[in-house]
Structures are given as C-alpha cells and as structure tokens.
Structure 1
Amino acid sequence: MGKRVVVTGLGAVSGMGNCLGEIWNAAKNGDSGIDKITRFDCSGFPAKCASEVKDFNLSDYMYVNERHRMDRFSQYAIASSVMAVEDSRLTIGVDVPPDRVGVWMGTAIGGIESFEDTHRQLLEGGYERVYPFATTLVISNMASSQVAIALNAKGVNNCTVLSCASGSNAIGDAMRVIQSGEADIMIAGGTEASITPLGIGAFCAMGAISPQGDPKAACRPFDRNRDGLVMGEGAGALVLETFESAIRRNAPVYGEIIGYGTVGDAYHITSPVPGGEGCVRAMEMAFAQSGVLKSDIDYINAHGTSTILNDRDETKAIQTFFGEKAYDIPVSSTKSMTGHMMGASGAVEAILTFMTMKTGVILPTLNLIERDPECDLDYVPNLPRFKEVNFALSNSLGFGGHNTVLIFKALS
C-alpha cells in the first residue's frame, strides 16, 4: 500500500460560506447555499437557481491588481488552498523544502467566464481587443499553476479534468504521488466557477438542470419529484502528507485516506451504466486498497445529483456492492446544500466527510420529502444525525462514464 497519507489541512469556498467554518456551520444547521441566480440575467433560461459564492473578498488571498490575470475558478482555488495551508500550520520553505510540496487541482470546465468575455471582445473589436493573456485565463491547468505560484510549491504540479469526478481524482492521484515518494506534501482539491450564461445554458439545453424557481425545492436528491441538478461554484483544498511528516510537524490530523478507486464505464457520454456497474467496480478497487471490510463503513457521502438517472443508479450500485448492509449505512447528498460544484464537488464533499468523522455530525439530504421507491436507502432526510464515524466512503461520478471512490479513516 505504501506510505500512510493523512489530511492535515482543509480550506473551502462555496455558496454556503467563504471559509470552512462558515460552510460547516451552515451545513450542520441544514442551511442551503442555493438561491436565485444573480450573476447574470437568467430571465430567458429555464434555470432560476444556483449556489453562488457571495461577498468573496479577493484581497484576503492576493493583491487585487493580480485579479485580471486569473479567472474566478483560479481565484477560488488560491483562496481554498491558502486556507488549507494555514489550517495545516504549514510553512513551506521552513517545515519542508518547496520542491517537496506539490499541487494537484481538478476542474471540469476551467475558465469559462473568461472564455465568454474573450469571445465577446473578439466579436466586438477583432483580435486586437483580446486580452494578450486570455489563454492563461481559460486553460484548466491554471488553477493548479496559480496555487503553486501563490504558495511557492515547486514540486509535482498537475491538473485533473474528469468532469464531476475531477476533485476526487485529484485527491486520489495526489495520494499516489506521496505514496510513491515523489512529494512529501500535496495540496489537492477541485475548483469551479461555471455560473455563466454558457455554463448554465449548456446544461439547460441538455435538460439536466432543475427548472424550479423555488430555491428550497430545486435540488432534491433521491426524492420522487427531483427534476435536475442545481449548479454550484467554489473550491475545496486539502493538505495531504505522510503520517510521519504530520507527526514530526505536530500538525493537526483530520484523518487518513486509505482507499482510491477510479474506473470508466465505456458506455455513454452522459448516462451511467444502468445499475451503476462502474461505480461498483470503483468501490471494489478502493476497498481492495484500503483493507477494510464492508461492515466497517459508517457513512457514505453520495454523488447524489438530484437527477433521475444518477440517483437511481448510484443507489443500485450501493445496494449491489454492500448487499443488505446497504440499508444500515447512513447516506447523504450534500449537493442538496452546496449545489453541484462540478469539478469542485468531490473535494468539498471529501472535506465535509472529514468534518463528519471529526465531529460525529452526519449531514442531511435536504428537500427529501417523498422518497423515490427506487431510492430506498437511509438518506438522512432533512435533519442532521449524530453518530461516531470511523470509516467513510465518498462517491464521485462524472460525464463520460467516470467513477471515483475514496475511503477515509478517522485517526485512531
């Protein structure tokens, strides 16, 4: 299995708050970040709701004059990473050489806001009006690169683009980098800022976004009346390091990453394999690495998008893999509060899962009023639950048939 990899720092930005403390307090109280779209005029769009980051103060994390050099998705990545490093009590260059610290960020869409702005500039004034560094605003690897520049992290630097599984894969791949000895510490996570006319419009055209105008009814994972996802934005970052490094630094430890499984469906560009066969294989892979038993799992953070196919087939995958044990495991979709943060989802959900293990608070699935008969697990409806969680599993599933599973362990 290689070196033990623990998590020593957490940082996040979302529609529920601009730091982990705000997000966690809102989540455990069941306060959703989903509200009416204000980022642009959506009157001509079926979608009316999203989970937007609000009152984000960029100057807390960088010089404001640097803002024009990066898209919003990179700004969120820097903010969450700075918070995670501070939370870890890590000083790069003192506790560890910069070339032993790496960055691995995931994003599904990248700098779509800058892409739209640049296209507008091109149409209005030709290429002479285009910002000279427009390419560096748009390309997906810029979040990882900008985080490295901001923190002086000179080690392995990579970017994962695997749709809605991107954040989880970034964490799993960063874990492998540490286990292989290529880095001592990795800053890993996901980021997204796709609440734009094109970002929302494309999902509307696909019929994937809920048309509900009521923010409290728009995102309802596993409910009989669910009718689509709700877009979210933000970022989540985790500091990963070897257990030995954490002990040597006397760093806070949230828990350990013990299993990572990632496979492809090879089936369809948007629809999961009926029955969730790919998710089952990803769970098998993660469990084989972790060494834990199915009976050890105390909680599952589901992908739970509030779409008809995902919720049904993810439920079937959990039932298939765990058998009767599936009905004893609390399962919740925190997307009911954060919205679907696309490439940031897996990272923020991993963070919330580590907080569940730390506090014993299992977050609820909001707006679950009328259960779908095909979704018959214990989804912790509407109210949090209190339970000791020593082992937890997090699912992330993405367009293109990506299935990613992470298994976490509380530090004993």
Structure 2
Amino acid sequence: MASVYGNVLHLSIFGQSHSPAIGCSLDGIPAGIPVDMERLQAFLNRRAPGRSGTATARREGDIPEIIAGVTDGYTNGAPIAAIIRNTNTRSRDYDELRRIPRPGHADYPAQVKYRGFQDVAGGGHFSGRLTAPLCIAGGIALQALETKGIRIAAHIANLGPEGIPDTALNNLELDETQLKAILSNPLPCIDAQAAEHMHACILEAKNNLDSVGGVVECAAYGVPAGLGDPMFDGIENRIARIAFGIPAVKGIDFGAGFSAAYLRGSQNNDAYRMVEDRVAPQTNNAGGILGGITTGMPIVWQMAVKPTPSIGMPQHSVDLAAGEDADLVVHGRHDPCIVPRAVPVAEAACALALLDAMLENPVLDLANPNVCKANTVR
C-alpha cells in the first residue's frame, strides 16, 4: 500500500491536509519503550506551521492524541495509534485548483489518476501536512533508538539559488556543540551567520511572491556495524524509500554522494586502521554504509528539497474544463520555503528506517557493547 512503510515496524499514515484529523498507526513496536510526551511535543513543534515569518501563516497546535499503544508512559506492545486534529483550515482557497492545476504540484497527475475524486483542499493527501503524523511515529522511534545510544540530528546544509552553505555535520563522531546550535539558532543551522543569511533569503522570496528550496543533511550517530542487507533491503534503500515519501524531496545521496563520481578510488576509499580492538575507518565518504550494511561510522545522508510550488506570482497553466491555456495565481497560506520544517522530518524518517532494520536483524547481540540486539529494545 502506498501509505504503509516498514518490514517489522508497519507505519500507516492517514488523513488529508484539511480533513478533520490526520494520524498514524505504528504496529510492531516492542513493549516497554519509554515515551516522553513533552519531548514528543517539542519535536513536533519544530515541524509545526505558523511558528515564524518564514513559514505558512496557517497555525496548528499539532498536539498528538495517543489513543492506543501507550500506557503509563511506556509502549504496551499493541499498535500505537495517534491523531492530530486539524483546526485552522481554509478550504475555499483551493476551489479552482481542480480545474486549473498548480505547476510543480501533484494537482494534474492526481486529477488524471483519481478522475476528480481526490481531495484538492490543502493538497489533500499529497500535502506536507501529512509529515506531522510521520513525526509522531518518528519521534517515538527517536526515543527508542536513544535507549540504545543512537542519536540522530539534521540541519539545513544549504539553501536558495545561490546555495547559502552551513557548516557540515561532523561525519566521524557526534559533536554536542553542533546539535545544541541547531536547536538554538533562528533556523536549524550549525552556523548562526548562515542561519541569518538563509532567513533573509527566504523573506526575500516571500516578498517577491516566490519560493526557494535547499538541502537537508542528516546524520545518525552510534549505529552499530552489521545492520542492513545487500541488494534491495540495504540501509540506503530503507532510508531513501521513506525519505522520498516526504513531499518536495527530489534527491537523496549518502556520504560523498554524487561527488564520489568525480574522485579517484584512492581519494574516495575510507582507509581502515585499528583503534584498540576496533576497526576504525579514517574517513567517511561511504556515509557509514557499504554494500547496504552499516560500517559502524555515522550514517550521513542528504535530501534535496524543491522550492514550494504554491507561489503568489502568476504562472502559466491550463484550464482542464475548457481545454485551453490559462494563467493561475495561487491563493491561500503557503510556505515560501519548506526546508526548515523538513529538518525534523528527515530525523523522523531516518529513525523509523533504522529502528525497523534493528528490529528485523537477529544477528546483533546485546552482549557486545558496540552492537544492539534487534528484539530487545526496552
């Protein structure tokens, strides 16, 4: 099914942008995992709309209602079910989009596939609004992974047509200073000056009734070696599959990514050395994955996020009812840049992919402090 993800964990997301509620179910998660609702709410707030001038004016509380699967602050072994109620919708802004589709949006292919029965309000189930329940499940997965010493962080790597860069995440080890900076700066960046430049770039696009995109970098620290499978169930495959479910994501790469194509093997290969009794790659161009299997180094990947297609300036489109060319001015409340709000979504997607892989892998043994056993997440 298109809205279901996972091999052992089964995540299902439901709802539309303007439906009474959106939500998720998460089946296969073990009992006994602590769920801190205050931390979960803080995580959801990082993605929520209406929190700054760089985001849509639609303001939603995004308060998760856990209706099953958690008892007294712990998972109880039953499927987790959760909803978020939509409270600030303005569906009339989308009335004409069934007839005149937005360039760059799913309006036209959805019209062809669903023959006009799709919900166009707010983008229906093609909307980035559906990343809110993804973050409920991902926020719980993040807390589960932390009990095994795995930390995940993301930031805006670069943004806008000129590619405003941020400092890269440390790809060899976790740097607490970097993680604190991401949460404290006006935009989720490591460098405060980069955050200021990005903020100005987004506001300029907004003032011009336009939008900008960017790249989100995500890293997972503390992931043991030996996780994942070759061919079609590699860690890259698992992360890419869920990351491409995030609206506006148009590209994924790992480690050196496409840049590796321009290196010699002597430059791209991560040389090994022994550190005490542990194999330690000296660099991490592989992004912590070889042959689909984790190397024990941080997993580092990036996702390219396109500019928001709903912009206020006139655009060329077609009138599907009249069968003729038409111009479109999009009304409503839209993000001039979705990249800042996509940062926690990348963390959620990565956490779900890794937790699913850990639960599926029976080889990892808790007796070894450097690895984790799949079916004993407590």
TM-score bracket, shorter-length normalisation: 0.3 to 0.5
Question: TM-score, normalising length from structure 1?
Answer: 0.31
Query: Quick check: which has more Rg, 1 or 2?
Result: 2
